[in-house]
């Protein structure tokens, strides 16, 4: 697989693709969440969620919290359900937090890289 760091423009393109798929009323309320999600994706803050006691669930991701001094250090994103554990998602009644967007960006980059290698 791709061993060197993935170039940022892959993430930037993926972020454009993610936002292009969102309804206009969602886009107008993002308030910088896409940029913050993009930064998380570029930093490698998105990892597949691994719970060794469970079968692997490809739709689950753990995204590093921006505050690394206090727990929780990760939020679990479920892309199948389109949910995240973070307060922004849970309390603001808005369905697109930066963790969810970061996970969507990473998934989009991965599928891009698979096509890239198949060519």
Binding site for Zn ion (CB under 5 A): 75, 84, 86, 89, 97, 99
Token pair 């949910």 in the structure block, residue: 83
Q: How far is the CB of 40 from Zn ion (least distance, A)?
A: 10
Helix axes 8-20, 33-43, angle to 10 degrees: 140
Q: How far is the CB of 44 from Zn ion (least distance, A)?
A: 17
Q: How far is the CB of 38 from Zn ion (least distance, A)?
A: 14
Helix ranges (H only) for 1-119 are 8-20, 24-27, 33-43, 87-92, 98-118
Nearer CB in complex with Zn ion: 15/86:
86
Nearer CB in complex with Zn ion: 104/109:
104
């Amino acid at each position: 697989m791709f061993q060197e760091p993935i170039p940022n423009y892959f993430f930037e393109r993926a972020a454009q693709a993610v936002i292009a798929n969102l309804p206009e009323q969602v886009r107008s309320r993002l308030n910088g969440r896409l940029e913050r999600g993009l930064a998380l994706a570029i930093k490698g803050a998105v990892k597949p969620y691994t719970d060794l006691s469970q079968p692997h669930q490809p739709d689950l991701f753990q995204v590093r919290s921006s505050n690394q001094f206090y727990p929780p250090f990760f939020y679990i994103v479920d892309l199948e359900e389109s949910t995240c554990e973070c307060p922004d998602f849970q309390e603001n009644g808005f369905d697109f937090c930066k963790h969810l967007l970061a996970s969507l960006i990473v998934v989009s980059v991965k599928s891009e890289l698979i096509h890239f290698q198949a060519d």
